[in-house]
Structure 1
Amino acid sequence: MTAPTERADAARNRLRILDAARRLLAADGFAELSLDAVAKEAGVGVGTVYRRFHNRAGLVYALIEDNETRFQEAFTLLCEDEAPSAQDRLRAFLHGLADLVDGNRELLLLAEASAPAGRYHSAPFRRHHEQIAGMVAELAPDMDADYVADLLLMAFTPGLFDFQRTERGWDVHRIKCGLDTLIARFGAAENAAARRRSRAADSDAAT
């Protein structure tokens, strides 16, 4: 079933609201962002903003979606141009996600503070989980891909990511290297499982 097309006036209001939010963020910072202030800056009714975004977290995630779109486009282009293996695709995806989270840290922290569980119900999180689970299932079929996807996405929890960057003083390169270690272990585990399956098949054939 095709999703309904957004009305032209609703689309215009959405752009006005997001542009107003960006102006307020640039002028006053993240802590001062409120839906009432955004509505006033955008020249729309407060009800319009609340109906569209529900709360501050919803508005913040809408802002993040712009960068998410660019991230997805870059990943799709990589896969089309280079046709990488599942392991290389997963590595590129997680590295790109680390850059995305680092570049949106303050917005993500604001969203997390506004609605702690909101991240798990957001469109980007559901999309990332589906993509990672698909690559894990391809890389290591014997693993519980959905659970592993949740574990990998925990690395991008805004509070934890910010703690690693600020309190521990880790740079993004170190975080990416940690992710690489996990990915390599997934590949090694699948290779070992494949060898066991091959030996079992040989044994069955011999008998």
Structure 2
Amino acid sequence: MDTVPFGKPRAERADAVRNRELLLETARAMIAEHGAEKVTMDGLAERAGLGKGTVFRRFGSRAGIFKALLDADEHRFQEQVLGGPPPLGPGADPVDRLVAYGRARIAFLVDHHAIARAALERGGPVPTGEPTVTQLHIRMLLGRAQVRMPELTALSIQLTAALEGPLLLYLTMPESDAPPAAEVDRFLGDSWQALIERIAR
């Protein structure tokens, strides 16, 4: 039987919040300097000036570091979608927003491909953000664009698969076989725009 906890969840201690932010900032710096593959639990702890036990308590594993980075950047991306400048944010024509969202989402996923690879847990799913959020956003914009097709919810699910699916394949390809990120960004972005413009006619 499910139980409901009494009271509010205990707030995270201020020093724990500071340590988390320090570790994420340090991890970003290490990735920028040396690449994701060079980031280790020991190296992160040493660079941040914290104990290795602190890093394990915060993230659990090396993959957990990269999952936390993805989560933080995903949150910032969604803030831009909900309140940033148009056409990605509110205020633009819904078709233009659909095109802008797809292009921005592709750019986000391609830009984070090394972090997403490093966030893979053995036997676990590919961590690429929140496809459910993408589907809900696409469904809302299809409605506002008054797209004349039946079952807009089903269409939004298919469009989400079209947007997120190729990136799943890209992330799971051997790095030696993967095309350059800029090329993936361009051809997937162009294909997304052509698809949306055809649907919206």
Q: TM-score, normalised by structure 1?
A: 0.67
**1:55-134 correspondence to structure 2 within 5 Å:** 55-75=61-81, 76-79=83-86, 83-112=91-120, 116-119=124-127, 122=129, 124-134=130-140
Work out whether residues 87 and 187 of structure 1, in 8 Å CA contact, stay in contact via their aligned partners in 2. Answer: yes
Match of 2:191 in 1: 178
Equivalences for residues 1-207 of structure 1 within 5 A = 5-75=11-81, 76-79=83-86, 83-112=91-120, 116-119=124-127, 122=129, 124-136=130-142, 139=147, 142-143=151-152, 144=154, 145-157=156-168, 158-159=170-171, 165-166=179-180, 170=183, 172-188=185-201
Could you tell which deviates more after superposition, 29-38 or 141-150? 141-150
> Which whole-Å CA distance do the structure 1 matches of 2:97 and 2:8 have between them?
29
User: Which runs of 5 or more residues in structure 1 are unaligned?
Assistant: 189-207
- The answer to which structure has the higher helix fraction is 1
Q: C-alpha displacement at 1:176, in angstroms?
A: 1.0
Q: Which amino acid aligns with 2:91?
A: A
More deviation in 148-157 or 76-85? 76-85
Question: Against the structure 1 CA distance between its residues 133 and 149, is the aligned structure 2 distance closer, same or farther, given a 3 Å change threshold?
Answer: farther
**RMSD of the TM alignment (CA)?**
3.6
- 1:57–1:118 Cα contact (<8 Å) kept: no
1:51/1:118 Cα in 2 relative to 1: closer, same or farther (>3 Å)?
farther
* Aligned amino acid, residue 164 of structure 2: L
Instruction: Write the distance in 1 (CA, Å) between the matches of 2:98 and 2:9.
Output: 29
C-alpha separation between the residues in 2 aligned to 1:110 and 1:77? Answer: 29
Say if 1:119 and 1:125, in contact at 8 Å, map to a contact too.
no
TM-score if structure 2 supplies the norm length?
0.69
Q: CA deviation at 1:110?
A: 2.3
The structure with the largest alpha-carbon Rg is 1
Identity %: 24
Distance of aligned partners of 1:73 and 1:32 in 2 relative to their CA distance in 1, 3 Å threshold: same
Q: Aligned pairs, how many?
A: 185
Do the aligned partners of 2:36 and 2:118 also contact (CA within 8 Å) in 1? yes
